[in-house]
Structure formats: structure tokens, C-alpha cells
Structure 1
Amino acid sequence: MKFFNFLVFLSIFLVSSPQAYSHSNDDVLRAVGLAEYIAGDYDKAVASEGKKIINEDEFLEMQDFAGIIFGYIQKLTTADSPLLKQAGDLQKAIFQKDPVSGVQNRAVSLKNEIIRQFSIAVAPQKKPDLERGRALFLQSCSTCHGADGLSQTPAAGHFPIKPPAFANHEVLEKLSPFRVFNTVTFGIEKTPMPSFGMLSAEDRWAVASYVFLLRNNLSAPTTERAPIIDWEKTMALTDGELLALLSEKGLKDDVALSALSQVRHLNGKAPLTASSHKAGAEIEQTLKMLRDSVKALEEGKKEEALNLCVSAYLDGFEKTEAFFKSSGHGDLVNHIERDFLHLRKIIREGSTPDIVVASLTKNLTEAKNILQEEGVVNRWVSMTASFMIVFREGMEAILLLAIIFSVLQALKNDEYKKWVHASWVLALFVGFLTWLVARKVVSGAAREGLEGWVSLLAALVLLYVSFWLLAKKDAERWKQFLMGKIRGKTFGAFTISLVAFMAVYREVFESILFYEALSVQGTHQPVWLVSGVVLGFVVLIIIAWMILKLGKKIPLNLFFGVSGVLLYLLAVVFFGQGIHNLQEADFLPQTPIPFLTIPFLGIYPFAESLGVQFVFVVIFGLGLLWQLWVKVPREEKQLEQQMADTSVELLNVHELGEHLKEHLGELKKRLGRGDISKEEMREVVGHMEDLDEGIHHAIMRLEELQAHLPLQFEEIYRDVEGLKDKDEKQRLLEKVQKFKIHMSCLKHRTGE
């Protein structure tokens, strides 16, 4: 009849061991369960004041159950038994449509009397194993009731009446573990609820106790405490009765719920609340949307089918990926991703999706089975997965930030460092805020699209900065460019800050999504998640420190060159990841090709992302060849020519000086005799002007050399410092220092 019996009728379960009871004992248990069911559901059949039927089917069911109880007791007792009279009175009260409170009191009284007279055990001999109950529930009950207890499953949708949702506190306030135990034992006739009498009594008690942990407003206790109520005394009590009892003890509201949690967790610490099974619920949601997508396609609603297909992956399965990847099932994730890609392609083409849907269903079912078998993520897996998320997602950001700070450190530009620090701190805040908004009002496709566009924007900015570094890798020119063209303007600071912001923002947003996905698989041990995060940050900080130290040890032009290359390659990675995000959100088409999948490097087996990356890699390769074969040799020749020209200019200056010296000596003698002509005076003045012009040219040549030679001196100096032979090292260092002093003096003297 009513499928709410599905659990509400959870009133027919064995107590200790079914083998310990005869057929008459089974009748006793069934009578107890039916009486409890009537007490819980009579208010659905008759108005509270009585006389008025509000649900005809429910009322007929109440009458039927009351008659069955009377029949059981009639077989078990004599005609003059007070118990039989109680059963008759209950039957009569229901027939007369008595007020709800009166019928409920009669049903509860009858149940308690049956338990007393027949010495029914309402609790197991030993404490139920909640972990075992969880595993059995996922295996045998989640198909209808849902892994999260919400009963939002494809199977439940086919039933005339939805199976009871254990996550609903109103349902559990009318149920007791004893009642659930009985229902699991006997099932419910004329409903899809089967009997699980083949399970041992211990297993049935485990399941019956576990379902109370699915309550939506029940938080798991984090410590073991002295029992408020002995667990044996709670097995026959509903949540409503327990809360009333706790209220009598002076516990109210949240304190009472906390105490209820302690009781339902059997006064122990057990990480097993409803949120522990969100991962299983996400897969069931994926399967449901998959079926809806296929149905929409069959009805000719192609656009709706495509949207459902995209949502099935992004709003469903993707949220569980962190668990599967952290537990060694990455291949399964890849298979499911490819199946979804294939299905989207089929929907666009209007082809028959049977084969790929069968493959998807098979793989998703396998994923669900893995959840059932492996259950809650253990502490070490949780910590390792947490560490890998920080390390993998943070590596790109920390590498980029370290490079930026190293460059600014080399240029002694502390002002821009403040901008960069402000940018990454702002990115942390904005990334977290975006996640809060996105998880509430933005679809999975929109979130994925946001990640994609952010990645592409970051890639474009990185390309600009990498070209900037590579083009200005000569330290002196770079410094002049930065301080000359950018100093006093906001453009340089804005560009560098934007790079820092975009890199950190995309990683923060993505990392939070990964942690949310990891947390859905039953990990209520935040200390291990936090430990993984801390360890990940420690490793990243060490890497950043090493990069900063390395930046001080290598020549500046080499450091800027390497930094530019790394930023360029990061841009290529971001392009691949961004395009893939947009493809998953169905903003861009996907053309699969046989190739490797390396998400960390942004490499995915699709022509679109690989094509873009290939173009930029080719550009990089051509640029590198041009740098090595054209630019560097040309600059070396230019430097040689500049040095040769400078030597010629200095020689000319010297010759002019000697020539002028001779003229001045002769002029001095003739002035003493007073026989010098105007033409001779003009000649001397002309020589002096030529000398001045020669000196001016020489100074210009030296200034040009000054743009190149100091860097060469630095490189030579650092290379010499690396020598192990102390005497040789000291000798060469002295030569280098003398050469530098000589060049400085030469310029100074020429200037004079």
C-alpha cells in the first residue's frame, strides 16, 4: 500500500538472532512492529481531533494493520487475555476514527505490553558496528534511499510513493533502531521493501543503528564521552522520544542535538554523518541526469540533452574526482571523462548514444561500488591527497611569484614588491569569495568556464611578461627600461601585480573546489586535511626560498633569460588548462586525438588545446634559434666593432693631443718673439676643436661599452668565484678587479 511503510514501517525486525525464535516469536515481533507503525502514522490517516479521514488509503492501512495485530495476539494468547482486549480496543478506536492522541497512546501501550509479556529483547547483546552498518547500507539500501539518505535516486523516482528519507529529522523522530531492525528483518508486504532476513542479526542491528546518523541536522561527535544514556536503553526509543528525555534532563536546542548525536553514535567517536556520503550522492545524481539527458535526446530536445549531459559531469561526478584520484583510481576518472566527451559529441550529431551510455553507466556504477567498498577516506590518504592538492595547484603560483620577486630583488625594486604582495593576498580573498558565490548561485558549467577564462587571461599576461623579460634580459638595459619607461607610471606595477593576482586567484579557486570534493567522501578528520595543507605550504616555501637564493648565484642575464623561459612555458600550460576548462563547460568543441594526458602540464588529448600549445612551442623554438644563431652572434660582432671603434677614437685623440702639443710649444716661442700670424692662430684653434670633438666621440663609445661590459665583468667575476683553487681564484679576481678599475679610470680621464 503506502510506500512510506518503506521505512516508517521499519517496525518489523528481529531482535537478537532470528534463529533463536520460532514462528510464533516472529508473529510477536511483527505485532510489535505494526503497533509501533500505527503509533507513528495514524496522524496521516485521521485528523487530530478525530472523526475525519484525511487520507483514505492510510486509514484503510491502519485498519488492516490493527486487524493483523489482533490476529497475531489471538494466536499467541487465550481468549480472556488482557492483551487481546487491548488489541481489540485499538482496532475499535481506529474503526471509530478516534482522536490521534488516544489511538497513539493505545498503540504505544499495546507495543510495550507485548514486549513485557513476551520478554522481547529490544537491543542487541553487543554494541552495533556502525562502520559495518555504513558499508551494508551503501551496498544494499542506497539504491533507493540514497547514500546521503535523501531518497533522491533514479530507483526511488519509479516508485508510486517516495522511500523514506532518513536525512529528514521528522522521519527519524518517529523511528527507533528496534523498529528499523524489524523492518529490515521482515520487509514490508505489497511494497518494494524486501526482507533482509538473510543477514545476521549483528548486521541488521548495524544497519538499523547506522541510518540514524544520516539525520540532516546531526553533527558527528569529535570525542568520546561518558554516556548520557546507555546505548542499550536507546534502541527502542525514537529520536523524538530521546529528545524529550534529554529535555527532561535540562538539555535544550543545540545542546540536546549534540547529546542526541552522542547517543546515536553509541557514545563513541565515529565520523559517519550524512555528509560523509555526499560523494555517493553525487554519483547517483550523475546517473539521474545522465538518464534525463538520454530521455531529452529521445524526445528531440537536443539542447536540453546537451545541457543535462554537461551538468551531469560538472555538477555531479567532477565533485568526486579528488577522492578517486587520491585513492588510486585516476584511470577510472579518465575513462568517465572520455565517455562524457563522446556522449556530448553524439548529442550534437544526433547519433544513437546507447553504447557510450552503457559504458558510462558501467564506469559510474564501478565508481559507486568503489565508494561502497572503500568507504571513508582514511587519515593518511586524506593527508596525502590534501598535500598533493596544495603542492600541485600551488607549484605554478609559487614558481611564478618566486620568479617575480627574484627579478625585482635583482633590480633592487622594493616598491613593486609591495604591489605583488598586495596582489596575491587579494587573490586569496577574491578566490575564496568567488567560490562562496559560485557554489551557491553558479552552475558547474559556469564555474568551469570561469576557471577557463581566468587561465587564458593569465596565460596572455604571462606571455607578455615573458617576452618582456627575454627582450630585456641584458640587466643594464632591462633596468634602464624599467626605471625609465615605467617609473612614475602605474603600467609596470599593474602588469606585474596582474600576473601575481591571476596566477594565485586561479589556483585558490581550483584548490578550494578540490578540497570540497575531497571532503565529500566521509573525511571528518580536519586535522589530517589541515596537516596536508601545512606540509604542502612548507614544501612550496622551501622551493620558493631556493629559487630566490638561486637568483643571487647566477648571472643576471642568465637568470632573466631562464625566468622568461619558465614564464613562457607556464603560459603554454595555462593555455592548455584554460582551453580544457572551456571544453568541459561546453564553450569550445573537443576533437580527441591519441595523445598523453598530463593535467599538471596542461596537456590533454584534444586537437584544440594541443594545437594552440604547439603553435606557441614552435614560436618559442624559432625564437630560441634566432636568439642563438642570429641575435647573440650579431651582438657579439657589434660589441667587437664598438671596442675597435673606441680604440681608434682614443688613438685619434692621442695623436691630436700630441700634434696640438707641438703646435702649442711652437706658438709659445713665437708669441715670445711677437711674430705669430692670424692664420697660425686659427690653425691652432682648429686643432683644439678637433681634439674636443675626438674626446666627445671617445666618451660616447665608452658609454656604449658601459652598457655591456659591467655585465660581462659580473659573469667573469662569478665564474672565478666558483674556482676551487684558492691561489688561482685570488689571482684572477685581482685581474678582473684591476680591469674594471682601469676601464672606470679610462672613462673618467677621457671625460676630463
Structure 2
Amino acid sequence: MNRVASLVLCLLFALPLAARAEGDAEERTWHRLVGILQYLEADYPLAIESQSAFELAEQKSFAAEAVDAARGLGPAAEAFLPRVLAIQARVDQAQDAQGVSQDCGALVEDLVLAGGLARSPRRAPDLKQGEALYRTNCAACHAADGSANLPIAATMEPAPANFQDPELMGGLTPYKAFNTTSFGVPGTAMPAYPTLSEEERWSLAFFVFTMRLPACEGTPPQASLERLANSTDEDLVKAFGPEHLACLRRKLPTVDEERSLLAAREGVQEAMRQGAAGNPAAAKAAMLDAYLNGLEPVEPKLSSRDAALVAKLERAFLQTRLAAESGSPHLQDEGRELLSLLDQARRGSGSATDLVSTMWLTLLILLREGFEATIIVGALLAALRKMQATQHVRVVHAGWVSALVVGAIAYVLGRHLLAGAQREWMEGVAALLAVVMLVYAALWLNARSNMSHFMGELRQKMQGALGRGSMTGLFFIAFTAVLRESFETAIFLQGLALDSPAGVAWGSLLGVVAILALVLFVNRMGYRLPMKTLFNVSTVILVATAVMLLGKGLHSLQEVGALPLVPVPFVTVDLLGLYPDAVSLVPQVVLAGVPLALVLLRRKGRAQRVSEASAG
């Protein structure tokens, strides 16, 4: 019995390892296919131009290798096989050099997307390690200085690469060099180096780009590892100028934002492995970890730079997590698409924003996050003034000012203490608490609007109509209406402040001025409105805001895994708190429908009373 139990335990532990090994082997095949196509993209036109029989034969062998690799991937690459075969047919006939090169480049991009391939290292390569590896493994053929100026090199066909040659380096990227060291070049003296780890191969690949460059003097511009790994020297010169090339290649970045996105990427890959091993619970846990510890900490900064991409990422995370929870076979496809989006975000990571751009982004964020809260606070103030209860205005002011203080504390504490799951929990709970208080406020205002003798009583005994309980309620209404927006704004501004603290400061100043002007305008207009109109408009605003915050609060709790995902066909409007999920939509419909039903019932009752009075 003990032997059987031990065997079962061994099998259970071996399943994830086997799935991981299988996944790694498949990923290597994707990379191998991409690497071969990159060879053809760069070298096939040169072979056609030279009309060298040896080089043309070499290109034919590359094309045949590409077909074998595509077939080896099975159904996953079935859609791409006709395109690979079309490339092979032209290569075998030594035709269409430009077309083959363009088709290879386009196919590479599609394969990277389909395979969810990482085309950059997980952390900044160690150039000193790369130099030591070069001396040990490469200098015998390429020479110590990378020039390939050695007697043995003259005997090789084709000759070893000359890393001092600007023309050669102009068409080479570190990712291409990484693939070369990973798989070698069939039919040449360039071997593969399977004994080197992935980190060592990346270090070696990045090092060869420094060999023809002078020493770095100064600080390089901000550029992500994803961008550096997939850019030629010519690309970097065009983007940043020739004076920065040496520093870009010699001083590699360690960007916190990119590290977070890499953590998200590794979490998604782990979820894909667990899904393939038949472990949906572990796959779901890995997806939650990838989102909360990978994407969530950098989401504010990403949103300020590319809100559309962040929206795609969030949808992809939810879809992949749903596939993981249900054990769907589509997990692998959803995961690959998500990995591609993460790499797209990585390409832009580390890019700084100038003062003016940061200032305008800050202003827009403040206006966007503060608009609903401003309308609510303004409506409450206007209602109190209309009822001549101005002594309670200070309670409303104390509420929203307290919420701003909490936001300021969140800004000071930083994302390290209030990020990931903590932030989502905070936003979700704050939103649901705000819903309760806003519904209370709507009922409170609606009750006053239907009491014709309320104003007289209010003047005689204010304390009875707005007692201590009501004052506490007013405080919490104003506090919760502003709290979520205040907290969320603090997180967004902290991300922007990493690029331009001065821009955030000036933008915040303009935003505060704009919001104060809006409050004064709403307050003044509300004071001039008729009593019944004012209360009715205020009630609609409060209920609509409660419906919006209910959707956002429930969505936040879904993102931390506290609530399940139940997707339904619907649109996503984040600004209005609308998401295609029954867990948030159904309660929103109920919350919006109940006040409407009460209004209809009240009108029906009023009509019946009028009818009875007429009949009598």
C-alpha cells in the first residue's frame, strides 16, 4: 500500500514537471522557427544578389528547416504552414528576394503573437558575464575583438560574422543573436550552445553589440529591454541619436515597470502550464498572482500612457482567468494572446513623459475622477442652502476634505503598501460603502421633496429634522462620495510622478482650481433651482452614481478573486462602471430599477387618489 501511495505521489509531482518540460520544448520550437525565418529575412536577398551556389543551397536548407519546424508544432501552427511552404517554393526556385524577405518578417510577427514568445530577457543581461562567455566560446573563430580576422576564419564557408562590420550589425538584433546561440546555423561552422542557460545566452547576445562601440559617457535615454532586444543599432540611432548608442548598449536598464510586467508574464506562463497539467485551481491562482503582483502595480502609469492597451490587457486577463477556472482548452490560446499584449506594454515601458504632457494628464485624471464626486457634493451643498440649513454645510465640507486627506496619505504611503490586491480591496469596499451612503442620501432628499410642511418645521426645530444621526449621515455621504476617487487619483498620480514630479504638481494645482470652479457653479445653479426640481435632480444624480460605483466595486472584488466571473454579452464602459458580467450587471439593474418602480407606484397611487376624490 505504501508503495502504491508513493507511486501516486510521484506521478502527481511529475505531471506538472512533464507539462513544464513539454511546454518549454514547444516554446523552443516556436523560437527555432522564428529564428530560421529571421535568417531568411536578412540573408536570402544577399544570397540572390551574390548568386553563390553555396549560399543559395544554404537558404534552401533554411527553408526546409522552417517547414519541418512548422510541422513539428502540429495543430498550433497549422494555419501558418501554407505560408511557410509558399516561402520554401520561392526559395527553392531562387525567386522574389524582396517578397520572401517581407513575407518572412510578417510571418515572424504573427508567429510571436501565436506562440506568446518572449523576445527579450527576463532581467538585464550581465555584460561582464557575456564577455567571459565570448572569450571561452566565440573568440577562437570571431577573434578577441569580434573582427573575425583570424587565419582559421579564412578557411570557413561562410566566414564567421564580423561584429565590427557596421553593415552586418545594422541588420542584427540581440534577439536574432540569441536565437543563433540557441540553435546554431545549420550547414555552417556556427554551433548551437544548449549547455548555456537562457540568461547566459542573452548576456552573450547583448555583449557582441558592445564590441565595436566606444565607452559610455553619461546616462542613456530610457528604453525598455524589450525595445533594446528587438532593435538594430540603426533603429536606436534613428530613435535616440548616434550620441546615445554606446550608452544604450552598454548601460542596460533595470526598469521597475518592466520587472512587474515580466512578473505578470511569468505568472501567465505558469497558469498555462498548470492548465495543461489539468490543475485549474493552480492555474486560477497563478492568473490572480500575475494580475495583482504584475499588472496592477504599474497599471496607473500604463493607463496614463496608453489607456486603450490597458483596457485590452484587463479584458485579456479576465478571459484567460475564466479559461483557467473552467479548465477550458482555450487557455493556451487566450494565454498566448495575453503574453503578446504584455510584451507590447513592455516595449513602451521606461519611456518618460515631459513636464507639459504630465501636467495635462494629471489635469485630465483629476477632472475625470473628481467629476462625479463634485456633482454629488455640489448637489448636497445646494440642497442644504435651499433648505436654509447652512449650519450643516460644514459637515459636508468636513466629509469630502477628510476623503482628500485619506487620498494624500495613500499618495505618501505609495504603491508598495497599497498596491495589487490591497488596492483592489480598498477600492471595492470603498465603492460598496459609497453605494449604501448614496442610496441613503437619495432616500433622504426624496423624503424632503415630498413634505410640503418640511420648510416650516426646519426653521422651528432644525435639530429634530437633521439630528445628530443625520449629521453623521451627511458626513459619510460626502466622505464616501469622494473617497474612492481620491484614493484612485493618488495611485494614478504617483505613477506619473515617477516621470515628472513638477508636471504632477502643476497639473494638480490646475485640477484643484477647475474642480473648485465646478463646485461653485453647481452650488450656485442648484441654489437658483426650484426646490422640487433641485431634489429630483439630486436624487437622480445620487442613484446614477450609486449604480456606477456598485459596478466598479463588484468588479474590483472580482479582480481579487473574491467574487466569481459570470460573463455575459455586453459592452464595457469603465467610466460608467459597466462590465459584461452578470455579477455586476444584475445588481446594477436591480438598484436602478427599484427607484424607478417606486416612482411608478407612487404616481399610480396618486392617480388613484385623484380619481377617488373626483368620484366622491
Distance 1:298 1:527 in 2: 49
Matches within 5 A, 1:667-682: none
Instruction: Tell me the residue number matched to 1:159.
Output: 198
Between the aligned residues of both structures, percent identity stands at 25
For residue 611 of structure 1, the aligned residue among 581, 586, 594 is: 586
Question: Cα deviation per residue 1:140-168 (whole Å; 9 max; x = unaligned)?
Answer: 9999xxxxxxxxxxxxx95366978xxxx
Instruction: Tell me the residue number matched to 2:187.
Output: none
For residue 209 of structure 1, the aligned residue among 241, 247, 251 is: 247
Distance 1:142 1:514 in 2: 37
Distance 1:4 1:318 in 2: 22
Give the partner amino acid of 1:496.
L
Distance 2:413 2:606 in 1: 50
Normalised TM-score (structure 2): 0.59
Would the aligned equivalents of 1:342 and 1:356 in 2 still touch at CA under 8 Å? yes
| Structure 1 counterpart SS, 2:569 | coil
Instruction: Tell me the residue number matched to 1:362.
Output: 340
Matches within 5 A, 1:104-253: 159=198, 178=214, 206-210=244-248
For residue 596 of structure 1, the aligned residue among 565, 571, 590 is: 571
Which segment is superposed worse, 312-321 or 393-402?
312-321
Taking only aligned residues, the RMSD between alpha carbons, in angstroms, comes to: 4.7
Q: Report how many residues are paired.
A: 431
Distance 1:623 1:312 in 2: 45
Distance 2:564 2:178 in 1: 36
Q: Which has the higher contact order (CA 8 A, sep 6+)?
A: 2
Give the partner amino acid of 1:403.
A
Instruction: Tell me the residue number matched to 2:524.
Output: 549
Matches within 5 A, 1:43-58: none
In the alignment, structure 1 residue 452 sits paired with structure 2 residue 572: no
Distance 1:346 1:413 in 2: 55
Give the partner amino acid of 2:198.
F
In the alignment, structure 1 residue 561 sits paired with structure 2 residue 599: no
Instruction: Tell me the residue number matched to 1:20.
Output: none
Would the aligned equivalents of 2:428 and 2:552 in 1 still touch at CA under 8 Å? yes
Matches within 5 A, 1:528-543: 528-543=503-518
Kindly state the Cα deviation for residue 9 of structure 1 after the two structures are TM-superposed. Answer: 5.7
Distance 1:298-1:443 versus aligned 2 partners, 3 A rule: farther
In the alignment, structure 1 residue 7 sits paired with structure 2 residue 127: yes
| Structure 1 counterpart SS, 2:416 | helix
Instruction: Tell me the residue number matched to 1:84.
Output: none
Give the partner amino acid of 1:358.
R
Instruction: Tell me the residue number matched to 1:387.
Output: 363
Instruction: Tell me the residue number matched to 1:576.
Output: 551
- Structure 2: give runs of 5+ residues left out of the alignment: 1-122, 133-138, 151-171, 180-195, 204-210, 218-227
Distance 2:537 2:577 in 1: 20
Instruction: Tell me the residue number matched to 2:352.
Output: 376
For residue 343 of structure 1, the aligned residue among 317, 320, 326 is: 320
Question: Cα deviation per residue 1:588-627 (whole Å; 9 max; x = unaligned)?
Answer: 1122222222212111111221111111222222223234
Would the aligned equivalents of 1:297 and 1:347 in 2 still touch at CA under 8 Å? yes
| Structure 2 counterpart SS, 1:291 | helix
Larger Rg: 1
| Structure 2 counterpart SS, 1:402 | helix
Distance 1:513-1:142 versus aligned 2 partners, 3 A rule: farther
Distance 1:408-1:159 versus aligned 2 partners, 3 A rule: same
Instruction: Tell me the residue number matched to 1:402.
Output: 378
Instruction: Tell me the residue number matched to 2:472.
Output: 494
- Structure 1: give runs of 5+ residues left out of the alignment: 13-22, 32-70, 73-135, 144-156, 165-174, 182-192, 216-273, 645-752
Would the aligned equivalents of 1:394 and 1:540 in 2 still touch at CA under 8 Å? yes
Would the aligned equivalents of 1:423 and 1:498 in 2 still touch at CA under 8 Å? yes
Distance 1:458-1:632 versus aligned 2 partners, 3 A rule: farther
Matches within 5 A, 1:318-333: 318-327=296-305, 330=308, 332-333=309-310
Distance 2:590 2:199 in 1: 58
Matches within 5 A, 1:446-485: 446-474=422-450, 476-479=452-455, 480=457, 483=461
| Structure 2 counterpart SS, 1:8 | helix
In the alignment, structure 1 residue 631 sits paired with structure 2 residue 610: no
Distance 2:324 2:442 in 1: 41
Would the aligned equivalents of 2:445 and 2:539 in 1 still touch at CA under 8 Å? yes
Would the aligned equivalents of 2:378 and 2:522 in 1 still touch at CA under 8 Å? yes
Would the aligned equivalents of 1:475 and 1:557 in 2 still touch at CA under 8 Å? no
Distance 1:4-1:288 versus aligned 2 partners, 3 A rule: closer
Give the partner amino acid of 1:356.
E
Kindly state the Cα deviation for residue 348 of structure 1 after the two structures are TM-superposed. Answer: 1.7
Give the partner amino acid of 1:383.
M
Distance 1:513-1:200 versus aligned 2 partners, 3 A rule: closer
Kindly state the Cα deviation for residue 466 of structure 1 after the two structures are TM-superposed. Answer: 0.1
Instruction: Tell me the residue number matched to 1:311.
Output: 289
Distance 1:513 1:178 in 2: 41
Kindly state the Cα deviation for residue 451 of structure 1 after the two structures are TM-superposed. Answer: 0.8
Kindly state the Cα deviation for residue 500 of structure 1 after the two structures are TM-superposed. Answer: 1.0
Distance 1:437-1:603 versus aligned 2 partners, 3 A rule: same
Question: Cα deviation per residue 1:332-389 (whole Å; 9 max; x = unaligned)?
Answer: 33332222112222222223321111111122223333458xx333445433322221
Instruction: Tell me the residue number matched to 1:621.
Output: 596
Distance 1:574-1:201 versus aligned 2 partners, 3 A rule: closer
In the alignment, structure 1 residue 411 sits paired with structure 2 residue 393: no
| Structure 2 counterpart SS, 1:439 | coil
Kindly state the Cα deviation for residue 178 of structure 1 after the two structures are TM-superposed. Answer: 4.2
Give the partner amino acid of 2:439.
L
Normalised TM-score (structure 1): 0.49
Distance 1:341-1:28 versus aligned 2 partners, 3 A rule: closer
Distance 1:290 1:548 in 2: 49
Would the aligned equivalents of 2:216 and 2:250 in 1 still touch at CA under 8 Å? no
Distance 1:201 1:391 in 2: 37
Would the aligned equivalents of 2:431 and 2:550 in 1 still touch at CA under 8 Å? yes
Give the partner amino acid of 1:462.
L
Kindly state the Cα deviation for residue 397 of structure 1 after the two structures are TM-superposed. Answer: 1.2
